[in-house]
Amino acid sequence: MMLQINFAVTAPMNLRSQMINLLKSMNIWLRQAPLCHSIPERCFVYKNRHLPICARCTGILFGGISSLIFFNIFNLNFSFQTSFVLAVPMIIDGGLQYLNYIISNNNRRFLTGLFCGIATIIFSQNMTLLLLRFTNI
């Protein structure tokens, strides 16, 4: 499925309706993508509507995007160990929930997802630097 974005700005109301259509099509795309289970009980609710992705995936996306921006603005670098330490809470929470030892809530899912999103960016930055060092680019 391909997502097309067409912006022909003719009037502010037209732009508003185009943005609404874009968000609706993104909602449909996210719900159909095999990225997230989108179980309604595990999704945040906004204005009596469930978001298209679960709380943990929301945290991963928010953590990844915000840390990517934040790390590049302030030129921050962290070690591989930091990425693994930040990923451990999500692994523990998701694993214990999968094994039915605990029942997690959306706030915990979001927080552990946030840490894992940050860890993903740290890991990706370190791998990129490592590959650039070995390829001498």
pLDDT, residue 1, reads 46
Cα dihedral value 12, 14, 18, 20, nearest 10: 70
pLDDT, residue 43, reads 82
pLDDT, residue 53, reads 84
- The structure's pTM equals 0.72
pLDDT, residue 135, reads 84
Sign of the alpha-carbon torsion through 125, 126, 131, 134: positive
Contact status, residue 63 vs residue 56, Cβ threshold 8 Å: no
In the chain, domain spans: 55-135
Contact status, residue 88 vs residue 80, Cβ threshold 8 Å: no
CA gap 79, 66 in Å, rounded: 18
Taking only the tens of pLDDT, the chain with its 137 residues reads 444 555 454 445 577 787 777 767 766 665 566 677 778 788 888 888 888 888 888 899 899 999 989 988 888 888 889 999 999 999 999 899 989 899 889 899 999 999 999 999 999 999 998 898 888 76
